[in-house]
Structures are given as structure tokens and as C-alpha cells.
Amino acid sequence: MPSNDRYAIYFAPPEESELWRFGIRWLGRDPVSGEPLPQPEGPGLTVDQLAAVTESPRNYGFHATMKPPFHLADGTDALQLRAAVAAFAAAQAAFDAPPVAIKRIGRFQAFALTAPCEAMQRLAADCVRAFDDFRAPQSEADLAKRREAGLSDRQEHYLQQWGYPYVMEEFRFHMTMLGSTRDEAVHEAVAAYLAPRTVRFAEEPLPVDAICLYRQETRKAPFLLEERFPFGG
């Protein structure tokens, strides 16, 4: 029987870094152990409210997407994927990206780069291409869900070609901290809480020296960080 597992190639800050510890505590789950973490109570939000508005990013795990989640294509398996990720990472050179800061992105809030970064754009595009042979075609239901947001012609082309519309020139590095909401009071409360507590992350470059393989057992299960692959072997 085909596996229900989905895999994704993500960037995640080192587990010993302040950024990682801040992100997983805010979202309320450690993607390595899978254990829940107590979330802070932000101004104007109860613990239950914060849990609700961070449910989606908590499920995906603190990360920035390089290769969006996919089921394995016929004729491929997890061991082959792991070997491919290891080989890809070994051929990469580490680099420093610009610092990150909390930004509003439509109905979301996320850590985003404070300046353009060609190396990050190239890394994401290379990941999309390098692992596409492992990606099973998207279901019609998944395609329809992506189209609900309203896609440009180029995004529709990428959706059909790569299974995801926000790749290549459409890619924007981000580590989501607030799930989709139109509630402006929630946005204001979250921004007010995060702004003073994340200013230190905008003062230093973001080291990029590894990619991570995440796995989700079923659509209802959270993503877990399976393995981190350092650049340069």
C-alpha cells in the first residue's frame, strides 16, 4: 500500500540558537521531539486564543519552506530521498543571509528577511528542482485549494509544473509565526508582543548552513524534523 507520509525540505535555525528556541516556544511545539511546549500569554490574547491562531504553523513546525510538502512518487522511497538530500547538502556552501524581522504578509505574520538575498532565492529554487523527481503529482483537491487564494498566470504555471505556486521568482523566505486571520485585533496584539522581543534577531545575519528533512505521517499529524543535513558534508 502507498505510504501516507508527506515530506518537505525546510530551512530551520540550529536547535541551539536563540531564534529556534524563541520560534518553537511561541508556536508551542518542538518539531524534533514532537513534545508540546507552553506558549507565552501575549497581551490581549488568552492561552487558548494564541493556541488557535498558531495552530497551522505549529502543525508544520518552525521553518522556512525550501521544497513544499509532497507525497513520494511511485518508484521512490524514503531512503532514496534521504540520500538525495544528503548529497545535495554536501554540495552546498554555507552563507549568511540578511537578518530577520517580524513582518505582516497578507493575513499572516512571519519572520522575513530584512533585505533581498540572491543566495537564498537560489537555494530555494535549487531545492525545488533537485527533489522534484521524488514528488508525486498533486491531487485535484490540493490544486483546487491552492487556487482558492487567486493565482497569477505565472503562479498557475508554477502550480502545474512544480505542484506549488510560490516558487522561483514567487518565493519569499518566511518562517510563519501567526496563521491566517483577518482579525486585526489579533494582528495588533501579536505584533505588539513580538516586536520588542524579536528586535535582537534583526541585528545579526542569519546563518544558512544546513537544510532539514521534515516528515508528516498523515495529514492530521504534525511535521517532525527527521534529520538536519549540514552544507559541505
Tens-place pLDDT, residues 58-97: 999 999 999 999 999 999 999 999 999 999 999 999 999 9
Instruction: Report the pLDDT value the prediction gives residue 2, as an integer from 0 to 100.
Output: 54
| Residue 128, burial from CB neighbour count under 10 angstroms (0-12, 13-18, 19+) | buried
Kindly give the parts of the chain with pLDDT less than 70: 1-2, 233
Which CATH topology does 6-230 take? Cyclic Phosphodiesterase; Chain: A, (3.90.1140)
88/171 Cα distance (integer angstroms):
20
Instruction: Report the pLDDT value the prediction gives residue 43, as an integer from 0 to 100.
Output: 72
81 with 134: CB under 8 angstroms?
Answer: yes
For the chain, give every domain's residue range.
6-230
Instruction: Report the pLDDT value the prediction gives residue 1, as an integer from 0 to 100.
Output: 47
